[in-house]
Chain A
Amino acid sequence: MTDRTGTRRGFLRRLGAAAGASAVYDAMRTLGHAAESDFTRVPPLAKPDGRTSVAVLGAGLAGLVASYELSRAGYDVTVLEYQARIGGRNITLRGGDRLVEMGSPAQDVHFAPGNYFNPGPWRIPYHHAGLLHYCATLGVALEPFVETNYNSLLHSAAHFGGRPQRYRDVAVDYAGYTAELLTKAINTQALETGLSRDERRDVLQALRLTGALDPSGQYHASDAMALTRGYAKEPGAGENGAPVPSRPLPRGELMASGLWQAIAFHQTYEMQTTMFQPAGGMDMISRAFIPHVGHLVRLKSQVAAIRQDEHGVSVDYTRLEDGTRATLHADFCICALPLPILDQLSCQVSSELKAAIGGIAYHSSVKIGLEFRRRFWEQDDAIYGGISFTDQTISQISYPSHGYLSRGPGVLLGGYMFGESAMYLAGMTPAERIALARKEGAAIHPQYDKEFSNGVSIAWSRVPWTLGCCSNWSDQARQTHYRNLVRMDRRVVLAGEHASYVGCWQEGAVLSALNAVTQVNARAHGGQHA
């Protein structure tokens, strides 16, 4: 753009390159270089000969996608769902909702009208093409989810006196100091770089630009630095309008603080922008399936046993409404129940599949939603969406990516953790979790104390219909169990995020459902079973 001699031509050349970019991307996907999701299109399903019935177990996203595609193709589909709602982990909590965990007092949600909290999945990477396909097909309105916000905060209790630092300052200083060090090393020939003279010049130029260095290769408060790092005094108008560049954080403490870990996190493929969220809450996706498949779902149906023989599948279940037992007969079964549940049911499948079902651990995860009387993070701190990270138990605070600048109460993600921290919080009562989230959050936002209104938390290990958050595959388990888990076992095939390489994401549920319906369709048309 600063190319004076050929700005326009340069632009057109870039445009031409962009036109070919999708082809390049398709080729990369084919080669597996960008293989987060291998969705290209919904596999074509042939209309079955005569009546072919499929029992779908679980009305989460996998069950919904499977039912949608099969019923569209002419299959006779019945869905059994334990809960009194459709959607599974595709769930949103709003004022008036009640959350029930095992062994915890029930939580009533008191959010103001219009506010919500996604206790399960909350964001959709742009390359999760299968899920985006269903959002587009079913008319689910999407809006940007702000993943990376340069004005968000990074906090370590043990560094910088416990004062949170802006993401921008950490990111720019990290790049600046490392560029400065590398420049010095190259210039003093301290490194055996093997760089040619030309390449050396190019590298130094790149370091100077990306590290906001001055012409001598130094990183210090300067106009060049201010272009990326901003100002101690913002540029203005009038007599005192001149800006004052900001000053970098001390290098030693920055490196010791570990705050730079957030940079690497946002750079991971799954977190790269553009990120989406459904407008109004994540459950807008499962709700959008209801007009198409809602009539096929038998709610409050608790599966007890799955039996199969050469003629078909029988699923024994309890109608929770009145406690009566019933059996659903079908030609095939797509089982989209979480593995910790399925593992404990009577399930007539091969010993290999049985071992796979019991062989996958589930993550523990806790999420906390907090409502405050006003959006102080916007009004006082100019933080609009994004995530602040902390080395405290709560791990992070995320700000709503919608309703900017509105008056009235707003809902924060006041904590989101996996692993040890999640196990610790799952062992607390909901009231104790809220108290901890308020205390730790106040170290980052002192406004917490004055502005807190109410909150709700979910410990996924205590959710009666999942007994865990999502699958935690190890490389060993992949080798031992993955093929057995995703292959049709006579007339039964599994679906759900666990039956994919995109575990813990909704995209995995979508792809697994398409894999399952493809196998059912092949069998229904006389294909050999594995």
Chain B
Amino acid sequence: MRKSAALLGLVCALSAAPSARADSATSAGAATGALATLRDGGQIYAHVCQGCHMRDGRGGLGAGAAIPALAGNGKLEDASYPAYIVLHGEGGMPDLDTMLTDKQVAAVVNYVRTHFGNHAPDQIDAATVHDIR
């Protein structure tokens, strides 16, 4: 689990300078910004999260290590925990704090906590996300 690094705030992949991306070969003209227009939690999930956590939220099993399932995950009980992880990452998961606004983090956390078999009764709002950030 990322502890001190998370608190110090790693920058996310998108804000990294080209030199820090090494073999990325991405010219600065690469497409960004489609995400910026998204408000719907489900759309944000599809755009950012399901590349690892999968369409059905069930994650994946790798070489003795896993991408955690969000379906039926007890750690989602308190909304501030997933909000913190979305902002600051964990292990190989990138920090998304510079990629997502407070509103977007709230939307995607609320989406995850009410889909994939999750039925959270409460919602997190952007102001609370802002405090966690």
Using an 8 Å CB-CB cutoff, how does the interface string of B1-38 with A read, 1 for contact, 0 for none? 11111101111111010111111111111111011000
Cβ contacts under 8 Å, A363 to chain B: 13, 21, 24, 94
How many chain B residues sit at the interface, stated as a range, is 35 or more
User: Contact at A462–B21, with CB atoms within 8 Å?
Assistant: no
Whether, in the assembled complex, B74 has its beta carbon less than 8 Å from a beta carbon of chain A, the answer is no
Closest Cβ of chain A to B104, distance in Å, is 12
For window 76-120 of B, CB contacts with A under 8 Å fall at 89-95, 99
Q: A341-B64, A345-B64 are in contact. Are A259 and B29 (CB under 8 A)?
A: yes
Do B63 and A427 touch across chains, with their CB atoms under 8 A apart? no
Summed over the interface, the residue pairs from A and B with CB atoms below 8 Å come to a total of 225
Known: A102-B61, A505-B22. A476 touches B8 (CB 8 A): yes
**Contacts A345-B64, A427-B49; is A358 near B23 (CB within 8 Å)?**
no
Q: A361-B13, A480-B8, A504-B21 are in contact. Are A395 and B91 (CB under 8 A)?
A: no
B46 within 8 A of A: yes
Bound state CA distance, A345 and B49, in angstroms? 23
Binary A-proximity of B36-79 (CB < 8 A = 1, otherwise 0): 00000000001111111011001011111111000000000000
A427 to B34, CA, bound (A): 15
Find out whether the CB atom of B11 lies under 8 angstroms from the CB atom of A474.
yes
Q: A502: shortest Cβ distance to chain B, in Å? A: 7
Q: Does residue A212 face the partner (Cβ distance < 8 Å to B)? A: no
Min CB–CB distance B37 → chain A (angstroms): 12
> Which A residues touch B3, using CB under 8 A?
355, 358-359
A280 at interface by CB-CB < 8 Å: no
Chain A contact patch, size range: 35 or more
A468 to chain B, nearest CB (A): 4
The residue among B30, B60, B93 with the most chain A CB atoms within 10 A of its own CB is B30
| A361-B64 CB under 8 A given contacts A419-B32, A461-B51, A503-B22 | no
A423 partner, pick from B1, B11, B51, B95, beta carbons under 8 A: B51
Contact B91 A421 (CB under 8 A): no
By beta carbon, the residue of chain B nearest A476 is B8
List, in ascending order, chain A residues with CB within 8 A of B29's CB.
Answer: 154, 156, 258-259, 261-262, 389-391
CB 8 Å contact bits of A355-398 with B (1 = contact, 0 = none): 10011111111000000000000000000000101111111101
Cβ–Cβ contact A361 & B65, under 8 A: no
Known A-B contacts A264-B28, A265-B27, A341-B62; A358 and B35 likewise in contact (beta carbons under 8 Å): no
Which residues on the A side are within 8 Å of B22 (C-beta)? 270, 470, 502-505
B10 touches which of A340, A392, A477 (Cβ 8 Å): A477
Which residues of chain B are near A389, meaning CB under 8 Å? Answer: 27, 29-30
Q: List 15 A-B contacts (CB under 8 A).
A: A103-B60, A268-B18, A318-B64, A359-B5, A363-B21, A389-B27, A393-B34, A394-B31, A417-B30, A426-B50, A467-B92, A476-B5, A476-B8, A477-B5, A502-B22
Can you add 5 more A-B contacts, CB < 8 Å, to A424-B47, A476-B10? Answer: A261-B27, A361-B89, A398-B25, A424-B51, A468-B92
Q: Which residues from chain A sit less than 8 Å from chain B, CB to CB?
A: 82, 102-103, 121-123, 154, 156, 258-259, 261-262, 264-265, 268-271, 302-304, 318, 338-341, 343-345, 355, 358-365, 387, 389-396, 398, 416-427, 459, 461-468, 470, 472-474, 476-477, 480-481, 502-505
Binding site for A on B (CB under 8 A): 1-6, 8-14, 16, 18-32, 34-35, 46-52, 54-55, 58, 60-67, 89-95, 99
